[in-house]
Amino acid sequence: MPLPNPNLEFVPLDKLTAAQLNQLVANIIALADGTGLNDKSISANKLADKSVEPKHLTRPYPPIITLGRTDLANVVIGANYVTAAPIPWLAIGANEHFELIDGSKLKLKTDCSKVKISLAVNTDVPEGNALQARFSVVDPSKPVGNQVVQTIVADTGKTGGMCSIIIPPACVDVKKGYYIEASLAGTFGGTYAIRPARSFLTCEIVK
């Protein structure tokens, strides 16, 4: 904020009134305690080392996280896409913007309105089967059964053999406290191994 009494002007040898002297003193006090400094009025090279508290510095972690696997993870799904199984992940690197809950739910801990998400799942598809990878945006504050806000899906496009199911980066609307959850579904029920190579979920806060 500016000085409490800006634009004071005096003629040399003028006798200042008590009110004018009080205004000068108020300006000096405002400069001393910093309240009379306009935003960005001091350049960074004029600041002393350690003069800025850590809480006022830019956050040390960028608002992005990648979830992956270091080993095989088996998931059990139902037939005909009815029962999708959550994909378990490991968080790669600590991050203050996100929290991995129950190994599969990525919670947004930062105030935000939009995130960019990409997903890749590497697994084996039995002959005659087709698999589907999904990620869902979940609002846990809503009643059970109505918590899924949005779901984006990608199919294998093939039936049989090793494959990677990929959802390219997509921007979705979110709020603080929402979950991002990836899952696997298919035409055949059974157990499927999620391979660590080329299996990941990346989430970046963009707004």
CA 43 remoteness from chain centre: 31
The pTM score is: 0.62
- Burial class of 3 by CB neighbour count within 10 A (0 to 12, 13 to 18, 19+): middle
Q: Which of 33, 34, 50 has the alpha carbon at shortest distance from 42? A: 34
Mean pLDDT for 152-178 is 79
Confidence class of residue 62 from pLDDT cuts 50, 70 and 90? low
**pLDDT per position as a tens digit, 67-122:** 887 777 788 887 887 778 888 887 766 577 888 888 888 888 888 888 888 888 88
